[in-house]
Amino acid sequence: MKRREFLVGAAISATAAWAAPLRAVLAQDAVKRKTRLILLGTKGGPRVGGEGRKNPSTLLLINGVPYVVDCGYGTSQHLVRAGVPLNSVRNFFITHHHSDHNLEYGSVIYNGWATGLRTRVDAWGPPGLEKMTRAFFDYMQFDIDTRMDDEGRPDLRKLVFAHDFDKPGLVMQNEDVKVTAARVRHPPIEHAYAFRFDTADRSIVISGDTNYSPELIELARDADVLVHEILYMPGLEKLLSRVPNAAKLKEHIVASHTVPEDVGRVAAAAGVKTVVLTHFVPGDDPSITDEQWAEGVRKHFGGRIVVGKDLMEI
Ligand SMILES: [Zn+2]
Ligand SMILES: [Zn+2]
C-alpha cells in the first residue's frame, strides 16, 4: 500500500515536470496556427460577483500577441489563469467608460509593470481614456516613483500610449490585425463602441454593451464569430426585487442592453457563423440554465450558439 502511494506520488510529480514544457510547445504551435479567442470575464454590471463570473474582458491572442478588450474587475487574475504573462500585453481596447469595462484598465497595465514590463503599451478607447490614463498615474505616483528609484524599474508613464477615438471606422492596424469600430446603442452613453478584429484566419466581433443596433449588424457582416452581450428579462426581474433603485435601474438596463431574441436577430442579419454570449445580465444567478440563455437566440439564429464562461476558449 505504502509503495503504491509512493508510485502514484512520483507519477504525478514526473507528469508535472515534463508536462509544463510540452504544454508550452503545444501552445506555441496553436498560436502559430490560429487567432485564439478566450473569454476572461463574462458577468455584466459593476457589482463584483462571488465565486462565479468575473466582470467583462475578452482576450484575443493573435500570432502569440495578446489583445485585451475591456478590463472589468478580475481581468488581471484571469489573464494569469489563462496563462498570459501580464507583462506581455501590448494592446488594450475599451468599448465604453462604464466601470464594469474599465475599472481594472490602469491596474492591469500596472500589474504588467510590476511583473517586469519594459516595452511600449498602447490603449484605444472613447474620449476620456487619455485623461483616465494620466489620472491613474497620478493616483499611483508615489508607488511608481518609489519603485523606479528603489528597484530600478523604467518609468511606466513613458511606456503607455493612450489613444482617444470619437468616431466609428479604423481604430488601428498592424501586420497581424485590422481593428475597426462601430458606434453602438448604449444610452445614455454617446461613445459606446463595438470592435471588429480581422486577422489572416478569423474575423471576430465584440459587441460591447448595446441594445439592438443596426450599426453592429453592419460591422459584424459575415464575421466568423460575434461575441455579444445578453440580458435575460426573467432573471432581471428577480435581481431587481432585491435592490432599492429598481425602477430607475430597470429603465436603464432595458434601454441599453439586448434581449436573447434580438441577439439572434442581429447574428442572423449579420450572417455570422457563431455567436458567443457574454456580459450576462444577471451574471451571478446560477438558477438560469445555459438553455435558458440560448433559447431566445435560437428562435432567430440557426448558427452555432456558445453560452460563454470565464476562461472558455472559442
Ligand atoms: Zn457593461
Ligand atoms: Zn455599459
Quote the CA–CA distance of 196 and 226 in Å, as a whole number.
9
Quote the CA–CA distance of 89 and 112 in Å, as a whole number.
8
Block means of pLDDT (10 residues each) for the chain, 314 residues, are 32 35 48 83 87 93 96 96 95 98 97 95 98 98 96 96 98 97 97 98 97 98 98 87 84 92 98 98 92 97 97 96
pLDDT value at residue 57: 98
Locus of grid cell 498560436: 31
Strands ordered across the beta sheet of 274-281 = 169-173, 178-183, 193-198, 203-206, 225-231, 274-281, 304-307
Centroid of ligand 1 to alpha carbon of 41 (angstroms) = 11
Centroid of ligand 1 to alpha carbon of 183 (angstroms) = 15
Centroid of ligand 2 to alpha carbon of 211 (angstroms) = 10
Quote the CA–CA distance of 192 and 183 in Å, as a whole number.
6
All residues with CB under 5 Å from ion ligand 2: 98, 209
- What phi, psi does 142 have (nearest 5°)? -60, -45
Number of Cβ within 10 Å of residue 162's Cβ equals 21
Ligand nearest to the CA of 210: 2
Ligand nearest to the CA of 72: 1
Centroid of ligand 2 to alpha carbon of 279 (angstroms) = 10
Centroid of ligand 1 to alpha carbon of 257 (angstroms) = 9
Centroid of ligand 1 to alpha carbon of 56 (angstroms) = 7
Ligand nearest to the CA of 281: 1
pLDDT value at residue 7: 29
Query: Closest Cα to residue 191, out of 169, 170, 165, 213?
Result: 165
pTM of the prediction? 0.88
Ligand nearest to the CA of 101: 1
Centroid of ligand 2 to alpha carbon of 72 (angstroms) = 11
Q: 173 and 198 in contact (C-beta within 8 Å)?
A: no
Centroid of ligand 2 to alpha carbon of 183 (angstroms) = 13
Burial class (CB in 10 A: 0-12, 13-18, 19+), 48: middle
Centroid of ligand 2 to alpha carbon of 9 (angstroms) = 49
Centroid of ligand 2 to alpha carbon of 271 (angstroms) = 25
Centroid of ligand 2 to alpha carbon of 101 (angstroms) = 7
Ligand nearest to the CA of 184: 2
Centroid of ligand 1 to alpha carbon of 295 (angstroms) = 22
